[in-house]
Amino acid sequence: MVKSTTKDAQDLFHSLRSTYVATPTNLKIIDLYVCFAVFTALIQVAYMALVGSFPFNSFLSGVLSCIGTAVLAVCLRIQVNKENKEFKDLAPERAFADFVLCNLVLHLVIINFLG
């Protein structure tokens, strides 16, 4: 039972890896950015668990800025990905401009909320 699940997990891992290698570079860069943002958020949560959550607004603004920018990057990836039929007539420049605008608003609000 354990052997088959580990074998399954290995197969899963190999299959995912082989498909992922085939994705274009610009999407991989976006994925890297998303992972970095989520990782930063996790570090902040661990720090909060260590020293306590006062002042709460600073903690929230820190974590939400990471989560926010990760989510926006995922939205950008969706819009730029050539395999998505729904967005084939959306220019990637327009998608990137929307991404930059939303990030600008996000970080302005974060700066106000940071306290």
Partner 1 sequence: MGGKSEPAKSESMATTTTSPDLINSSFFSFKSLKLKTKQQELLLRISILGLVYILAFIARLFSVLRYESMIHEFDPYFNYRTTLFLTEKGFYEFWNWFDSESWYPLGRIIGGTLYPGLMVTAALIYWALRFLRFFVHIREVCVLTAPFFASNTTLVAYFFGKEIWDTGAGLVAAVLIAICPGYISRSVAGSYDNEAVAIFALLLTFYLFVKAVNTGSLAWALASAFGYFYMVSAWGGYVFIINLVPLYVLVLLITGRYSMRLYIAYNCMYILGMLLAMQIRFVGFQHVQSGEHMGAMGVFLLMQVFYFLDWVKYQLNDTKLFQTFLRITVTSAIMVGGIALGLGTASGYISPWTGRFYSLLDPTYAKDHIPIIASVSEHQPTAWSSFMFDYHILLFLFPAGLYFCFKRLSDATIFIVMYGLTSLYFAGVMVRLILVATPAVCLISAIAVSATVKNLTSLLRTKQKVSQTGSTKGAGSSKASSKVTLDQSQPFQKNGAIALLVGVFYLLSRYAIHCTWVTSEAYSSPSIVLAARGAHGNRILFDDYREAYYWLRQNTPTDAKIMSWWDYGYQITAMGNRTVIVDNNTWNNTHIATVGRAMSSNEDEAYEIMRSLDVNYVLVVFGGVTGYSSDDINKFLWMVRIGGGVYPVIKEPEYLVNGEFRVDKGASPKMLNCLMYKLCYYRFGELTTEYGKPPGYDRARGVEIGNKDIKLEHLEEAYTTSNWIVRIYRVKPPTNRL
Taking CB under 8 A as the criterion, the residue among 19, 49, 51, 93 binding partner 1 is 19
Minimal distance in Å, beta carbon 71 to partner 1? 5
Is residue 48 a contact residue for partner 1 (CB under 8 A)?
no
DSSP class of residue 16 equals H
Q: What number of other Cβ atoms are within 10 A of residue 109's Cβ?
A: 14
Residue 88 has phi, psi (to 5 degrees) of -70, -20
114 scored as a contact of partner 1 (CB under 8 A): no
Residues 17 and 12: their CA atoms lie apart, in Å, by 8
Indicate the burial class of 4 (C-beta count within 10 angstroms; 0-12, 13-18, 19 or more).
exposed
Structure tokens at 66: 């990471």
Residues 81-110 interacting with partner 1 (rule: CB under 8 A):
84, 86-87, 90, 95, 98-99, 101-102, 105-106, 109-110
Which residue among 41, 62, 79, 80 contacts partner 1 (CB under 8 A)? 79
Q: Which is nearer to partner 1, 47 or 57 (CB)?
A: 57
Residues sharing a CB contact under 8 Å with residue 66, sequence separation 6 or more, in sequence order: 37, 38, 40, 41, 44
Residues near partner 1 (CB under 8 A): 5, 8-9, 11-12, 15-16, 19-20, 56-57, 60-61, 64, 67-68, 71-72, 74-76, 78-79, 84, 86-87, 90, 95, 98-99, 101-102, 105-106, 109-110, 112-113
